[in-house]
Structure 1
Amino acid sequence: MTDQDFFQTITQPSMAEFKDRGSRFLAYAFPVGHADEFKTRLQELKKEHPKANHHCFAYRIGMDGNNFRVSDDGEPGGSAGRPILGQIDSQQLTNTAIVVVRYFGGSLLGVPGLINAYKSAAAMSLQLTPFVQKAIEIPYELQFDYTRMNDVMMLVKQMGCTVLQQEAQLFILLQIGIPKARLDEMLYRLNDMHYVTARKI
């Protein structure tokens, strides 16, 4: 197995506070699977902190490195979102988001001060949540007669696959995530089960 078979992420949310010259920076780190999930959480934090001056954030999702976003939310360009993303990337995390809520304390911190504050708050929030390695999974859809359910589920469990979705009609439609490292083995075993149709999603 290579490093490419796994990704590193967080599985539980955490919160840390950083203070500088009266300003409070509350950093919320949490796992995130897609952009819509992130937007929902951001809205919740805005409701939780309606009087905050800024809600700056960064997230990275997926394996290809192209799905990320940063926002300075009114702070000087590059002083908030980028330093937050820098902390996610320095730990080689993905499917991870951090929102830093700032309450202005009356003193201007300047761009170097802001970069340091957002970076420190983000780093502190990541120190409070454990990192986990997860297998990169390839999504497949399996179709089979419901009488074969036990055989299929036993194989799914043996191979460490994740069940993503399940529909029962006259036959069962099962969406699973197959660990990349075991894909060939899993497809070989499924091939032996002539009553299962498997296709990549």
Structure 2
Amino acid sequence: MLQEFQTIAEPSEGLYKEKGSKFLAFAYPASSEEDVSTCLEALRSRYHDARHHCYAYQFNDEHQRYRANDDGEPNHSAGDPILGQIRSRNLYNVLVVVVRYFGGTKLGVSGLIVAYKTAAAEALDRARVVTEVLRQQLTVAFGYEQTGDVHRIIHEYDGAIREQQFDTACRLRISFRRDQVTEIQEKLDQLVGVKVLDA
């Protein structure tokens, strides 16, 4: 799993036409099978009269899962070219679906490969690429007198406070880069009167 990776910020679209066939491409941020199913269901409903809904995705998870689906097109003529475009841009947590309307003239396998690759490229070229960092949250409890020490560590590691509670004791839920959490926990544990409640 990459601690820092590139993905797309929001959905984008592309279009490629060849010999009467139309290839409508849709790129989505997606990080789970559920995300993929939701997007596919919406497109199959919206473009229910299309012949094919081919797609590919790549996730930044423990297994760096990916999948390419030809949805009835000849083997490796649709899903693989779409996946190739995601990989050539080194993107993760991305789904690209290409919806094909058949125009009456067969394109042949090489023609299909070019069409699906070009449509996917169109959608991804229009996407806004962003760098994402894997983060993890810690809940920290401490007394008022430790506030300065805790805030110094938050600042040092560029932490972001997600929740705060100040009663008889203080409690913060803080988001840090996942690859720094062990080191941060050790520093917090060294502070007297500071307790990490969960990680």
Alignment TM-score, normalising by the size of structure 1: 0.79
Aligned length: 192
On the 8 A contact 1:29/1:96 being kept in 2, the answer is yes
What stretches of structure 1 of length at least 5 have no aligned partner? Answer: none
RMSD of aligned alpha carbons = 3.1
Larger Rg: 2
Compared CA separation, residues 199 and 82, structure 1 to 2 (3 A): same
Compared CA separation, residues 167 and 116, structure 1 to 2 (3 A): farther
Alignment correspondent of 2:59 = 61
Q: One-letter code of the match for 1:142?
A: T
SS in structure 2 at match of 1:26: strand
Query: Is 2:114 the partner of 1:116?
Result: yes
Residue number among 31, 34, 54 corresponding to 1:33 in the alignment: 31
Looking at structure 2, the residues matched to 146 and 25 of structure 1 have their Cα atoms a distance apart, in angstroms, of 61
SS in structure 1 at match of 2:71: coil
Write the deviation string for residues 50-99 of structure 1: whole angstroms up to 9, x where unpaired: 11111110011115553111111111111111110100000111011101
Residue number among 58, 71, 92 corresponding to 2:69 in the alignment: 71
Looking at structure 1, the residues matched to 152 and 103 of structure 2 have their Cα atoms a distance apart, in angstroms, of 58
Looking at structure 2, the residues matched to 114 and 199 of structure 1 have their Cα atoms a distance apart, in angstroms, of 51
Task: Please list, as runs of the form range in 1=range in 2, the aligned pairs for 1:62-101 lying within 5 A after superposition.
Answer: 62-64=60-62, 66-101=64-99
Q: Percent identity over the alignment?
A: 35
Alignment correspondent of 1:195 = 194
Looking at structure 2, the residues matched to 48 and 180 of structure 1 have their Cα atoms a distance apart, in angstroms, of 39
Looking at structure 1, the residues matched to 96 and 143 of structure 2 have their Cα atoms a distance apart, in angstroms, of 43
